[in-house]
């Protein structure tokens, strides 16, 4: 069998400015108790006024270089930035990253809401395994706090900013990105949206000027799809949940994560939780969680990981991978 594509280098970044639940108590009618009970969020990192998605993406790649050396980027021939908050509608944020690091590479942005980074990994896998690219830099970067309504307590407390970056290239067996489940149901577009250049959704509902979310409906969708997508990804990989060393779900809400963990029958020590520290930073959520798990020594070569995400669209994605196989480690 030909080699699979796998993650051979990872980096992550979160802005230094932090807003705590106490900060929100001072800003609006909310409480630390409400936020923790409903979401598990304690803090979130907020981009500075002059810090945008391209800066966050570049900082995550700088962290990748710090961890793995300059050589990790040698031969990168495609840059993908998964984001919902690009600096501009064009040029692509990915082109700004390409230029910053002087890469001889193609570059494009990918929009699939929170699962965008998993979608980017799937594209990277297809490029590498087809021979079309040698190395893909797949980034998830988000400056969501730039599009929040700071008067809306139902959304403002939930989100944060950050970025994560991975190099994807061919790795020897048994490592690599295995099964992917990628899904969308655009009939749920009205549950979670924000305006770009359009005015209305197909239903005729006006697009929101700031991030709009029907929390209850998205919650129900999330619990359902985290269950179905993870089970399908496991089935396609031929693995049982017992063989998953670490479950790395999208960090939106601790209750959603716990429901998914319980349905998979995994003990708490086999799930990564960073939502308390970062809130929901969309496409950056899973690579940031992976970086935390690596730093904590929770991932070893040969470990099977299960990743899953959901978001606006509505969209979802899940992936089973076997960690390791990097030639430069
Ligand atoms: N502080 C205090 N009270 C609040 C706050 C707040 N920050 N926000 C809402 N409330 C109130 C509401 O007004 C409501 O009051 P009411 O009963 O008097 O009307 C009450 O709390 C309960 O509101 P619910 O919406 O029912 O609260 P719920 O338990 O559903 O929790 C939450 C809300 C946390 C948003 C939950 O629905 C959720 O997590 N949904 C999923 C969100 C998500 O995962 N999104 C990810 C996708 S993001 C992307 O793709 C960009």
For ligand 1, which residues put their CB under 6 angstroms from it?
30, 34-35, 38-39, 113-114, 153-154, 157, 192, 213, 215-216, 218-219, 222, 252-253, 256, 280, 282, 311-312
Cα 149 to ligand 1 centre (Å)? 14
Would strands 192-193 and 212-213 be described as parallel, antiparallel, or unpaired? antiparallel
Cis geometry, peptide bond prior to residue 256 (ω within 30 degrees of 0): no
- Annotated active-site residue 250? The verdict is yes
β 76-82/135-143 pair status? parallel
CA distance 75 to 129: 15
323 CA distance to ligand 1 centroid (A)? 35
Q: What is the DSSP letter of 298?
A: -
> For position 327, what pLDDT does the model report?
65
Measured from the Cα of 155, ligand 1's closest atom is 35
pLDDT < 50 regions, the chain = 328-329
Q: Which phi and psi (to 5°) does residue 121 adopt?
A: -60, -40
Domain 3-176 matches domain 177-322 at the CATH topology level: yes
Instruction: Name the burial class of residue 198, with classes exposed (0-12), middle (13-18) and buried (19+) by CB atoms within 10 angstroms of its CB.
Output: exposed
pLDDT recorded at residue 43: 98
CATH 3.40.47.10 applies to domain 177-322: yes
pLDDT at 2: 65
- Ligand 1 pocket test, candidate residues 154, 285, 286, most atoms within 8 A of CB: 154
| Domain coordinates in residue numbering, the chain | 3-176, 177-322
Tell me the C-alpha distance between 20 and 22, whole Å.
5
Full-model pTM: 0.97
As given in the structure block, the two tokens for residue 112 are: 């699939």
Spot the catalytic one: 21, 45, 55, 114: 114
Correct CATH for 3-176 of 1.10.645.10, 3.30.300.20, 3.40.50.1970, 3.40.47.10: 3.40.47.10
């Amino acid at each position: 069998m030909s080699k699979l594509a796998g993650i051979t280098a990872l980096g992550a970044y979160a802005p230094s400015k932090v807003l705590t639940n106490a900060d929100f108590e001072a800003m609006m009618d909310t409480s630390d108790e409400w936020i923790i009970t409903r979401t598990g969020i304690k803090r979130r990192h907020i981009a500075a006024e002059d810090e945008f998605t391209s800066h966050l993406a570049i900082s995550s790649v700088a962290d990748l270089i710090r961890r793995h050396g300059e050589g990790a980027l040698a031969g990168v021939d495609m840059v993908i930035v998964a984001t919902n908050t690009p600096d501009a509608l064009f040029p692509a944020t990915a082109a700004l990253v390409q230029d910053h690091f002087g890469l001889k590479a193609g570059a494009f942005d990918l929009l699939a809401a929170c699962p965008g980074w998993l979608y980017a990994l799937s594209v990277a896998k297809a490029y590498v395994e087809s021979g079309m690219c040698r190395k893909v830099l797949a980034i998830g970067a988000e400056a969501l706090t730039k599009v929040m309504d700071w008067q809306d307590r139902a959304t403002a407390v939930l989100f944060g900013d950050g970025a994560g970056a991975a190099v994807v290239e061919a790795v020897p067996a048994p490592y690599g990105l295995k099964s992917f489940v990628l899904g969308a149901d655009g009939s749920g577009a009205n549950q979670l949206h924000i305006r770009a250049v359009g005015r209305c959704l197909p239903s005729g509902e006006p697009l929101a000027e700031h991030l709009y979310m029907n929390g209850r409906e998205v919650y129900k969708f999330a619990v359902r799809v985290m269950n179905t997508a993870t089970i399908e990804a496991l089935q396609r990989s031929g693995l049982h949940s017992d063989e998953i060393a670490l479950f790395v779900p999208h960090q939106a809400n601790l209750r959603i994560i716990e429901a998914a963990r319980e349905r998979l029958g995994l003990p708490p020590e086999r799930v990564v939780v960073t939502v308390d520290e970062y809130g929901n930073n969309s496409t950056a959520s899973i690579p940031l969680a992976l970086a935390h798990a690596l730093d904590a020594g929770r991932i070893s070569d040969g470990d099977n990981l299960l990743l899953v995400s959901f978001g606006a669209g509505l969209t979802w994605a899940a992936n089973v991978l076997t960690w390791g196989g990097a030639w430069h480690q």
